[in-house]
């Protein structure tokens, strides 16, 4: 059996990950939280939630708790906060990560779309050569179980300026698919 951590996520994240099979965080689960947890763990329900925050590495605790700046500060070495500005690449868990009992494949359908499929299975879009007002993707359930994929769409500014966000979430959609089923997903670019 893998260790279970019922304490804080920061404590769980500092434990050697090779010995930990999973981390479950249930903020305020309410009256039916235990039943929901059991349904997910026993595979009755296929999880499709995403993290709403970034979990930083232990080195982030060296930052003063009174520093609430979002943007990084190159002179002090402050790395910034949130998925928009923290770009060190050493996050323990990134905003938008989540698990499922099935797998999905995302395929871009928009011309001139720069598509990067990450562990998160999110679609990062970069400003193309010609303006576009909509991004289209094809989402396919490539696994053996029905499930839902939360597709996250980000704009990535073309200039790598530390005062600008590294990426900006501009849309998300949850897509429910049977095994082998595909669905087109559209995002309007603001």
pLDDT in tens, 116-155: 434 333 444 444 455 567 888 899 999 999 999 999 888 8
- For residue 125, the model assigns a pLDDT of 45
Among left, alpha and beta (phi > 0; psi -120 to 50; other), residue 5 is beta
- For residues 29-38, one letter each, b for 16 or more C-beta atoms within 10 angstroms of the residue's C-beta and e for the rest, the string is eeeeeeeeee
pLDDT for 157 beyond 80: no
**Are residues 97 and 183 in contact, defined by beta-carbon separation less than 8 angstroms?**
no
What confidence category does residue 189 fall into, taking pLDDT thresholds of 50, 70 and 90?
A: confident
Element (H, E) at 177: strand 168-177
- Average pLDDT for residues 28-47, to the nearest whole number? 89
Q: What is the pLDDT of residue 20?
A: 66
pTM for the structure as a whole: 0.73
Q: Residue 36's closest CA among 49, 48, 24, 45?
A: 45
Is residue 166 within 8 Å of 156, Cβ to Cβ?
yes
pLDDT at 117: 39
Nearest to 134 by CA among 106, 156, 112, 158: 112
Number of other residues whose CB lies within 10 A of the CB of residue 68? 8
H helices then E strands: how many in the chain? 3, 6
Please say if the pLDDT value at position 4 is more than 60.
no
More reliable by pLDDT, 114 or 99: 99
pLDDT at residue 148, as a whole number: 95
């Amino acid at each position: 059996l893998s260790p279970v951590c019922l304490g804080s996520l920061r404590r769980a994240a500092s434990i050697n990950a090779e010995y930990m099979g999973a981390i479950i965080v249930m903020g305020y689960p309410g009256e039916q939280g235990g039943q929901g947890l059991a349904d997910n763990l026993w595979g009755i329900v296929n999880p499709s939630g995403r993290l709403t925050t970034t979990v930083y590495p232990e080195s982030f605790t060296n930052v003063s708790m009174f520093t609430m700046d979002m943007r990084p500060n190159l002179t002090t070495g402050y790395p910034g906060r949130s998925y928009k500005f923290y770009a060190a690449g050493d996050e323990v868990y990134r905003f938008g990560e989540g698990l499922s009992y099935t797998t999905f494949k995302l395929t871009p359908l928009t011309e001139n779309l720069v598509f990067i499929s990450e562990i998160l299975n999110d679609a990062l879009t970069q400003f193309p050569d010609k303006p576009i007002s909509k991004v289209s993707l094809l989402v396919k359930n490539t696994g053996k179980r029905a499930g839902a994929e939360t597709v996250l769409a980000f704009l990535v500014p073309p200039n790598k300026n530390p005062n600008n966000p590294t990426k900006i979430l501009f849309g998300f959609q949850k897509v429910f698919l049977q095994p082998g089923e595909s669905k087109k997903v559209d995002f309007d670019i603001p």
